[in-house]
Structure 1
Amino acid sequence: MIINEALILYPSAVHLLRMARDSMKLGRLSIPAGTHLELPILAIHHDPALWGNYAKDFNPGWFSEEIAKAAKHLMASMHFGAGPTICVGQNFALLEAKLVLAMILQKNSFVISHSYAPMFSPTLIRQYGAQVIFRMHISENSTA
């Protein structure tokens, strides 16, 4: 739940670029073949119409059931893309993140840093330092 929420608030890719191969209808819009489309992932992930009034708050509880039920639309969560062009490394990346987070939390705790300032580029990167502060917990019985 924490990893999914972190990916919603801070997706690594802030937008996806696609081109319509064929003419299509998208809702009331007619999109001609060859049209270049930009999907603003960061804007979608922070949209109150999809996520509610607290869209910008850290709330892992949204993912207590399944990702599809967290938002008001199935495609509201696109941190690894969607459809036939979804990231092939998604499952590996999520597994790796879970393992690393579990290893870190065994001996550490963390709080959100107030100095975190995202900077936009083709991906979302931190501008000033780490976005979390780690506190190492060493028990008397362990050797560090």
Structure 2
Amino acid sequence: MARPRTFGVRALLTDPAGRIALVRHHYIAGWYLPGGGVDKNESAEEAIRRELAEEVGLADVEIAGLLGVYHNRSQAKDDHVVVFVARVADPAALHAADAREIAEAGWFAPDTLPEGTSPATRRRIAEHLAARQGHGVW
């Protein structure tokens, strides 16, 4: 049975110190960029703003641009994921806003990412640090 194609968003969110926001979910092991699915009649930008508010409690976020658009076919998925580059002025506001979904949220220096950071998350961070626009396989 084929899975339906989905459309998702993630944010490579940085603070003034250059740290990157990551989240750990209750339902899957590892650390990830915050984000989620795009709802019907919702733009990708509206979705990432909603997801950042829901997951990490941030409403005042500057969307600086796009890191890239990726296709995730792992684990029988057929997902297209848009990764935004975003900034926040007040890093203290970051927290696990939805305790049912997010076990933990935190800021991490790119050279000290937590154990269990997903390989795709590490690839997106490396692209960002190299000032490369990403695309292709998640």
TM-score (norm 2): 0.27
TM-score by length of 1: 0.27
Structure 1 or 2: more helix by fraction = 1
Task: Answer 1 or 2: which has greater strand percent.
Answer: 2
Q: Which has the larger radius of gyration?
A: 1
Higher relative contact order (CA 8 A, sep 6+): 2
